[in-house]
Amino acid sequence: MSSIAIRAENVSKVYRLGVKEETDDSLFKSLGKMIKSPISNYKKYRSLYSFSDLDFDNPDANADSNVLWALRNVSFDVTQGEVVGIIGRNGAGKSTLLKILSKITPPARGRIEIHGHTSSLLEVGTGFHNELTGRENVYLNGTILGMRKKEVDRKFDEIVEFSGVEKFLDTPVKRYSSGMRVRLAFAVAAHLDPEILIIDEVLAVGDAAFQDKCLRKMQDVGSQGRTVFFVSHNMPAVTRLCQRVIMLSNGQLVADGHSHDIVARYMHEGSNTAAERCWDDDDKAPGTDIVRLKRVRILDENRQTSASSLDIRKPVGFEMTFEVYQDGHTLLPNFKVVTDNGVDVFIAVDIDPEWRKKERLKGTYITTVWVPGNFWSEGSYFVDVGMITLKPHQVRQFFEREVVSFQAVDPMEGDTARGDWVKELGGVIRPLLEWETDFTQ
Ligand SMILES: Nc1ncnc2c1ncn2[C@@H]1O[C@H](COP(=O)(O)OP(=O)(O)O)[C@@H](O)[C@H]1O
Ligand SMILES: [Mg+2]
C-alpha cells in the first residue's frame, strides 16, 4: 500500500490587513532582530498569529473584518510518488499553500503532516544566502536537507551542469541575475534527491529551453517515486506532468481530481470561454441588422458539446448558430483557431457547395466545420468566430475573439504522431503522417 507523503487537514491561513508578515531572507538577520528587540517581536508575533476572534468553521461570517483569508479549510492527502499540480488565478492562495507545506509560515489553523525530506523552490532566490557564493549555497542547501558533504559532492557536478552557471560558481549569489538564481535554485532543489519536491511557478522565469529542461527533470523526479508538488500557469505542462491537479479559488480547494478534467474546468471558468457560449439577448449578440451570432459550441465526435479536454486522435467540430434577419444576402461564416501563445493555427471559411455563393433566406442557421482527428498538438486553443457578407462587397458582420476554447490532450498510448517519443514534442499541429524507409546493405 502506498503511504501518505503530505496530509493537510482544514488548513487555513489568515493575514491581517495592514500588518505585513515579514520574512527575513537570512537566518542571521532574523536571529539578530530577535536578540535586539524581543518585546516588540513578541508583540508583533502575537498580533500576527492571534486569530481567536475568527470563526474558522464559517469563514464567511468574518467577511467584513479586516482579515484576508489566504486559505480556508483546505484538506487533501497526497500519497508518496504522486505528481500534483496546483492551479488557480493570481491570489488564489497557491504560494501560501506551498509556503505552509514547506514550513516557511505556519497555518493559522489546521494541521499538516509531511513525511519525507522536502526540498522547495518558492520564490526566486529564497533559500539562497546572498553573501555566499553559488558553490557555498549548494552545500548550505544540501545541509539543510540533511545531506552529508560527501553526498552533496556526488551531486555537485550534475547540479552545476544543469544550472549552466559554472563560470559564476565562486561569485556571491547577490551578483547573479534572476535567471541565474532560478537556474541554480532549481538545479539544487531537483538534484538533492528530496523525497518531496515543491516548486512554485519557477517556470514562469527563464527561457523556453530551460523551462522544458525543468519539466523533464520534474518528470524524472516524479517517475523515481518521489512526490512532486508544483504550481504553474502552463496548462499543457500541468496536464503532461501531473496525473492529479488541485484547483484553488479564493483560498478554497474547489476541485481535486484528474488533471485533464480540472485543467479543462479551469480554462473554461477562467477566460470566460467554455466549450459553449450563447447570446440569448439579441441586443447583446454580436452582429448587425443583417445577421447575429446566437451560439457557438465545440462538438465531440458524437455531436455533443465537448465536456472537458479533447483527445487529439478524435475529430472535433466547431458549430455556430446565427440568425439572418433579411433575405438575399450571401454569407461567409468562418472560424479562426489560435493557440494560447497567440499563434494562428488556421482560418477556415465555409466552402460547402450547398451554400456557397447562394443568397440566403431569413431564418436560423446552424453551421459546423469538422477538423479531423490527429490534427492538434497538445495544448490550449481558442476559437474566434466571424461572419462576412460578400455582395456587393465584403463586409464584416461580426468577428468575436476567443469565444470558445479547448484543451487538446495526447493520450500517450503510442498511436498518435508522438509514437514512442515520450517527452516534449511541441509544434502547433501534430499530424499523423505516413513514413517509409528504404533499406540496403
Ligand atoms: N505576507 C502576506 N501578507 C498579507 N497578505 C498576503 C501575504 N502573502 C499573501 N497574501 C495574500 O494572500 C492571498 C493569497 O496569496 P498567494 O498565496 O500569494 O496567491 P497565489 O500564489 O495563488 O497567487 C492574496 O490575496 C495575497 O495578497
Ligand atoms: Mg504565487
CA-based nearest residue to 195, from 45, 81, 343, 69: 81
Nearest CA to ligand 1 atom 26: 91
Q: What is the CATH number of the domain that holds 392?
A: 2.70.50.60
Q: What is the pLDDT of residues 199-252, one digit of tens each?
A: 887 665 556 677 778 888 888 888 888 899 989 877 777 887 888 999 999 999
**Cβ–Cβ < 8 Å for 230, 86:** yes
Region for 116 from its dihedrals, namely left if φ exceeds 0, alpha if ψ lies in -120 to 50, beta otherwise = left
Sheet of 67-79, strand order: 67-79, 4-16, 109-114
Verify that 294 and 229 share a domain, yes or no: no
The three-point CA angle 147-148-149 to 5° equals 120
**Dihedral angle of Cα 67, 68, 74, 78, to the nearest 10 degrees:** -130
Verify that 45 and 90 share a domain, yes or no: yes
In a domain, 177, yes or no: no
Verify that 388 and 243 share a domain, yes or no: no
**Atom of ligand 1 at shortest range from CA of 97:** 17
Verify that 244 and 334 share a domain, yes or no: no
In a domain, 87, yes or no: yes
How far apart are the CA of 22 and the centre of ligand 1, in A?
A: 13
CB within 8 A of 4, min separation 6: which ones?
A: 77, 78, 79, 80, 113, 115
Name which of 31-45, 143-157, 224-238 the model is least confident about. Answer: 31-45
In a domain, 140, yes or no: no
Residue 428 burial class via C-beta count within 10 angstroms: exposed 0-12, middle 13-18, buried 19 and up: middle
Residue 224 burial class via C-beta count within 10 angstroms: exposed 0-12, middle 13-18, buried 19 and up: exposed
In a domain, 437, yes or no: no
| C-alpha cell read off for 161 | 551542469
pTM score, whole prediction: 0.63
Among residues 214, 237, 270, which one ends one of the domains?
Answer: 270
Number of domains in the chain: 2
State the pairing for strand pair 67-79/196-200.
Answer: unpaired
**Atom of ligand 1 at shortest range from CA of 99:** 17
Which one of the ligands is nearest to 204 CA?
Answer: 2
Q: What is the pLDDT of residues 89-126, one digit of tens each?
A: 878 999 999 999 988 889 999 999 999 888 888 865 56
Domain range spanning residue 63? 4-116+195-270
**Cβ–Cβ < 8 Å for 340, 383:** no
How far apart are the CA of 249 and the centre of ligand 1, in A?
A: 12
- What is the per-residue pLDDT for 383? 92
Residues in contact with ligand 1 by the CB-under-6-Å rule are 15, 20-21, 68, 70, 88, 90-96
Kindly state the average pLDDT of the residues 259-266: 82
**Cβ–Cβ < 8 Å for 399, 384:** yes
Verify that 290 and 345 share a domain, yes or no: yes
**Atom of ligand 1 at shortest range from CA of 248:** 22
Distances (CA, A) of 44 to 19, 36, 92, 187: 9, 14, 26, 36
Which one of the ligands is nearest to 96 CA?
Answer: 1
CA-based nearest residue to 383, from 306, 326, 329, 331: 306
Verify that 345 and 237 share a domain, yes or no: no
In a domain, 306, yes or no: yes
In a domain, 280, yes or no: yes
Among residues 217, 247, 270, which one ends one of the domains?
Answer: 270
Verify that 292 and 312 share a domain, yes or no: yes
The alpha carbon dihedral of 424, 428, 432, 438 has a sign of negative
Verify that 74 and 216 share a domain, yes or no: yes
In a domain, 381, yes or no: yes
Verify that 66 and 105 share a domain, yes or no: yes
Q: How confident is the model at residue 272 (pLDDT cuts 50, 70, 90)?
A: very low
What is the b/e burial string over 40-67, where b = at least 16 CB atoms within 10 angstroms of the residue's CB? eeeeeeeebeebeebebeebeebeeeeb
Name which of 19-28, 64-73, 212-221 the model is least confident about. Answer: 19-28
Q: What is the pLDDT of residues 277-294, one digit of tens each?
A: 899 888 889 999 999 999
In a domain, 296, yes or no: yes
Among residues 241, 270, 299, which one ends one of the domains?
Answer: 270
Verify that 341 and 381 share a domain, yes or no: yes
For the chain, what is the mean pLDDT? 84
How far apart are the CA of 189 and the centre of ligand 2, in A?
A: 18
Verify that 356 and 381 share a domain, yes or no: yes
**Nearest-angstrom CA–CA distance, 412 and 11:** 36
Verify that 203 and 340 share a domain, yes or no: no
CA-based nearest residue to 250, from 380, 107, 63, 8: 63
